[in-house]
Amino acid sequence: MSKFTRYAALLAGAFAIAMFGAVAPAAAQDNKMRVMVDWSPHGMHAGLHLAKQKGWFQEAGLDVEVLDGKGSTATIQQAGAGQIDVGFAQLAAMAVARSNGVPLTSVACFVRAGDNGVMVPKGAGYKTMKDLEGKRVAYAAASTTGPFMDAFLKASGTSRDKMTLVNVDAASLVNIYTSGNVDAVSSTVAFFLPIVEATRPSEGILWADVGLRLPGYGLIVQQKAVGERAAMLQKFVPVVNRAWSYIFDGHVDEAVDAILKQRPNEKLDPKVLKAQIQLYMPLFATPATKGKPMGWQAEEDWASALKAMEDAGVIKPGSKPADYYTNQFIKG
């Protein structure tokens, strides 16, 4: 069974459950929206929480509910099933679902340079993946990034038979790394580094540094929503873009405060949230999106990402960038 077949089968089963197990459709009114993020609160949710806290959605005539998620794949399932109006998730995972027949598309991409990588301890002398040959590297094979591990290693000039890959549940990545049981860990760098800073100060080796640039966080909707709920999206997407532009204009602390106020019952560390936002910000642009509005997606970037995903065997050959995204709702 090929890597694509295994991964697609897992997704197909999950999406089938979501599609046929839907208990309620997304809100029918154009002003009501259910938006689900990928996980429990972290820095990349700042744009949504800030817009909510500032009342910008309400100003645009929208009644927006921001829901926490249980992983990008779960959020994508909900979007594909029509149980939410908009998903905030990893677009590489959305692309796999789209290739597998789930009718989704991206209406904005924020982490356009990609955020995947491998964390290594500071001062350990690990600068490339070849430096980790003979070492233990933890990763989550069932995560949204797990299927790309071999492609990353190949692009780095090495392979899994030259190191020990330790497959664990995604929720266990922090513990196995901070305990020192592995030498490195594969995850999303900007999310992971601030969490482990206090116990095992680290730095990242980005996948993008070896040419494997996959789209990171963005907004996804059912393809039919691009037409059927265009009026809603024409209001919603610019508000989220406005929030992120405001953050970039020197309002990171205000964004952190918005997350804390929107999620008062969570045990959130403001220092971690701020560091996550600051680490993600340099990943918002690529050479192809330089000078373009917040959230705007380049065909060149999508073409490169789709080729990488085809080479990794996680999407079917022959994909066209236009099947995966639209800039219809990006102003400017």
Q: How high is the pLDDT of residue 14?
A: 44
Q: Could you read off the pLDDT of 89-124 as tens digits, one per residue?
A: 999 999 999 999 999 999 999 999 989 999 999 999
Q: What is the mean pLDDT of residues 230-252?
A: 98
- Backbone dihedral angles phi then psi of residue 50, each to the nearest 5 degrees: -65, -45
For residues 164 and 135, what is the distance between their CA atoms, to the nearest angstrom?
A: 6
For residues 72 and 93, what is the distance between their CA atoms, to the nearest angstrom?
A: 7
For residues 79 and 8, what is the distance between their CA atoms, to the nearest angstrom?
A: 17
Q: Could you read off the pLDDT of 28-84 as tens digits, one per residue?
A: 466 899 999 998 999 999 999 999 999 999 999 999 999 999 888 889 999 999 999
Q: In this structure, are residues 259 and 174 in contact, taking their beta carbons and an 8 Å threshold?
A: no
Q: How high is the pLDDT of residue 20?
A: 38
Supply the mean pLDDT for the chain: 90
Please choose, from the candidates 107, 106, 85, 104, the residue with its C-alpha nearest in 3D space to the C-alpha of residue 32. Answer: 85
* CA distances to 82, 102, 145, 189 from 79, in Å: 5, 9, 19, 25
Q: How high is the pLDDT of residue 29?
A: 61
Hey, how many other C-beta atoms are within 10 angstroms of the C-beta on 87?
30
For residues 273 and 275, what is the distance between their CA atoms, to the nearest angstrom?
A: 6
Kindly give the pairing relationship between strand 202-206 and strand 63-67. Answer: unpaired
Q: Could you read off the pLDDT of 3-31 as tens digits, one per residue?
A: 444 444 444 444 443 443 343 444 446 68
DSSP codes of every residue in 208-237: GGGT-----EEEEEETTHHHHTHHHHHHHH
Please choose, from the candidates 179, 145, 188, 184, the residue with its C-alpha nearest in 3D space to the C-alpha of residue 163. Answer: 184
Bigger pLDDT: 4 or 199?
199
Q: What is the mean pLDDT of residues 228-251?
A: 97
Q: How high is the pLDDT of residue 299?
A: 97
Q: How high is the pLDDT of residue 5?
A: 43
Contacts of 128 (CB under 8 A, 6+ apart): 156, 157, 205
Taking phi over 0 as left and psi of -120 to 50 as alpha, with beta for the rest, 55 belongs to left
Q: Give the number of C-alpha atoms closer than 13 A to the C-alpha of residue 195, restricted to the C-beta side.
A: 19
Q: What is the mean pLDDT of residues 325-330?
A: 98
Q: How high is the pLDDT of residue 30?
A: 66
For residues 173 and 5, what is the distance between their CA atoms, to the nearest angstrom?
A: 26
Q: How high is the pLDDT of residue 161?
A: 97
Q: Produce one character per residue of 100-120: b if its CB has 16 or more CB atoms within 10 Å, e if not.
A: bebebbbbbbbbbbbbbbbbb
Q: How high is the pLDDT of residue 212?
A: 84
